[in-house]
Amino acid sequence: MMKTSLRTVSFHLVCCAVLTIAASMAAQGAEEVAEEQPSLFIDTLNVSVVDLDVFVTDKKGNPVTGLTKEDFEVLENRHPMVITNFYPVVEGSVARSEPAPPVAAAVEEEAPEAAPQEEPPPPPLPEKQQLNLVVYIDNFNIRPFQRNRVMRELRAFLRKHVHKGDRVALVTYDRSLHLRQPFTSNPAVISRALQELETVSGHAVHRVSERRDALEQIEDSTTEQEALSFARIYAGSIFNDISFTISALRDYVDGLAGVPGRKMIIYVSEGLPMRAGEDLFYAVQEKFKTTVGLTQIYDFDASRKFQALAAAANANRVSFYTIDAGGLRVYGADVSERTPSNGIHVDQIHTSNIQSSLQYLAEKTGGKAIINTNRVTPALEKVAQDFRTYYSLGYTPSHYGDGRYYRIEIKVKGRKGLRVRHREGYRDKPPAVRASDSVLSGLIHKIDDNPIGVDLQFGRGTPAKRGNYTMPLAVSIPLGKIALVPGGSGTYEARLSVFIAVQDEDGGTSEVQNAELPISIPEAQIEAARGQKYLYKLDLLMRQGVHRVAIGVRDQVGAEFSLITRAVQVGGS
């Protein structure tokens, strides 16, 4: 199987740097683009809908159905919001909101038997309600035998619960991020990919050994300072590893931003410490009966990184369903036999520490955490309920793209004893950030969403220095599909932003670059121009090989965005 790396690399001026930029009208269009573009003072109306997946359960954890829009109250930063979109989904279909037709009253005379009327099928789910499920195996923070045990249950779970229209992807983290299987609607493909992973090594074996050695060194220490030095060395190593782990997760979550629909990540690991090495500092305390060293725990506190990850997931409508593959934890099993006096207490702290991050990510994003069990299937059956039965609520906030974080509360009015789960907030991304995220999603997941009708053509590459090639590109934009509004001095104005990123055949992805395109057309030519195309030309310096180019075009006035991706062979035959 091809393993596609999702690492983010800097192409500098090799893969994605724009060397020259030229923009002109197409040959058949109006060529009178003003040499000096006047500033465009136009009020634009940007409207976004905040979509919320809401799960309502009773005291026993069973889904509660039959609620209406009027039963919900949505608060944003404690201010009530008007619910504009409402989809009650039951067993994968939009539930009917209209009441059942009344039963006719009985009459004495026998009426002729009427032909039975077939109930129309339930309306299909809109695209924004389609399920995108990611199985994320953290090979760096898991032992192979624990991982394989969970994956066998996952394979059976996916075969049973992935339905038509669902899309599933498989990602692993092995010191770097790898897309093992892009989104597919075929559960057999994912099952085979999971099975192939059983031969891949897991790195947590080394971590268990490293922790045991550090505990032994603390036990052998003769002074508190010596013991603390061992604790700090271990904590620093773990903190560094966790930072890379969280960064990789964050990169992938950001890469899901432009994927339409509901997004769920089943994250499988043996836990991630919220505070690296916390248990070892407590081991020092137990040995030397002092609390002085406990203050050093916060030098290795990763909680802010987890907060940022949860915030990114909420901004991109991603829910985490986390699995601790360590199973039912037996306290003291992973610590040195030479430390019986503090082993159980230290191991309790260790377990709580590595599971707290899994619980945090699930709780903050509206998902679920599966911990302290050797069989994950019963808990996964509860996860499957979230696939098919939920409420989708949407509202339109008064703000747009201000970059601020907004806290969300959802309540069910007049009903006690119900549990309501949902993402706890979101960051209102600026338009340029939204567009950049969508372009990266387009590269990773090969997404095209092109309401403007943008087209991309490649010219013939020419050899450049150091074995690279200069590749000309032309982006054509139909003027009839963008907002052209009266400007000053007898002209019609538009303002576009173009975003571009490139991915090489090894999965290395460039940073997104963008350019502003103000357009000014004389009023006398506006009708003719509406049938023409605006041509934006640029040259890229690229290595030889197969590349995928993603182009995003945002109409700033009309608040419309188009995304297309195209593959191109650079150099060679």
Query: Which H helix or E strand runs over 565?
Result: strand 560-570
* CB contact at 8 A, 387 and 131: yes
* CB contact at 8 A, 427 and 310: no
Residues 446 and 344 in one domain: no
Task: For residue 90, tell me if it sits in a domain.
Answer: no
Q: Quick check: helix, strand or coil at residue 429?
A: coil
CA dihedral 519, 523, 528, 531 (to 10 degrees): 40
How far apart (Å, rounded) are the C-alpha atoms in residues 352 and 327?
Answer: 13
- Structural domain including 445 reads 4-46+430-570
Query: Which H helix or E strand runs over 77?
Result: none
How far apart (Å, rounded) are the C-alpha atoms in residues 48 and 427?
Answer: 13
Residues 17 and 158 in one domain: no
Using the Cα atoms of residue 26, residue 28, residue 31 and residue 33 in order, give the sign of their dihedral.
negative
- How many domains does the chain contain in total? 2
Residues 439 and 353 in one domain: no
Q: Is the pTM of this model over 0.85?
A: no
How far apart (Å, rounded) are the C-alpha atoms in residues 10 and 422?
Answer: 36
The DSSP 8-state label assigned to residue 160 in this structure reads H
Give, for all 573 residues of the chain, the pLDDT tens digit. 334 444 433 333 233 323 222 333 333 333 333 333 344 444 444 568 899 999 999 999 899 999 999 999 999 999 999 999 999 999 877 775 544 444 444 444 455 565 566 666 666 677 788 999 999 999 999 999 999 999 999 999 999 999 888 999 999 999 888 989 999 988 889 888 988 888 888 788 888 899 999 999 999 999 999 999 999 999 999 999 999 999 999 999 999 998 989 999 999 999 999 999 999 999 999 999 888 889 999 999 999 999 999 999 999 999 999 999 999 887 655 554 444 445 688 999 999 999 999 999 999 999 999 999 999 999 999 999 999 999 999 999 999 999 999 999 999 998 888 999 999 999 999 999 999 999 999 988 888 999 999 999 999 999 998 889 999 999 999 999 999 999 878 899 999 999 999 998 888 888 899 999 999 999 999 999 999 999 999 999 888 999 999 999 999 999 899 999 999 999 876
How far apart (Å, rounded) are the C-alpha atoms in residues 125 and 92?
Answer: 8
Q: Quick check: helix, strand or coil at residue 373?
A: coil
Compute φ and ψ for 479, nearest 5 degrees. Answer: -70, -25
How far apart (Å, rounded) are the C-alpha atoms in residues 273 and 239?
Answer: 8
Radius of gyration of the chain (CA): 28
Residues 21 and 145 in one domain: no
CA dihedral 391, 397, 401, 407 (to 10 degrees): -60
Tokens 């944003």: give the residue: 76
Domain CATH for 15: 2.60.40.3880
* Alpha helices per DSSP H over 274-395: 278-288, 303-315, 343-365, 377-388
Residues 265 and 384 in one domain: yes
Domain CATH for 374: 3.40.50.410
Task: For residue 400, tell me if it sits in a domain.
Answer: no
How far apart (Å, rounded) are the C-alpha atoms in residues 519 and 31?
Answer: 11
**Could you say which of 320, 355, 388 is where a domain stops?**
388
* SS3 sequence of 110-132: CCCCCCCCCCCCCCCCCHHHCEE
Task: For residue 424, tell me if it sits in a domain.
Answer: no
How far apart (Å, rounded) are the C-alpha atoms in residues 300 and 110?
Answer: 82
Residues 381 and 482 in one domain: no
Residues 441 and 356 in one domain: no
How far apart (Å, rounded) are the C-alpha atoms in residues 423 and 408?
Answer: 7
CA distances from 59 to 24, 219, 415, 421 (A): 64, 46, 12, 13
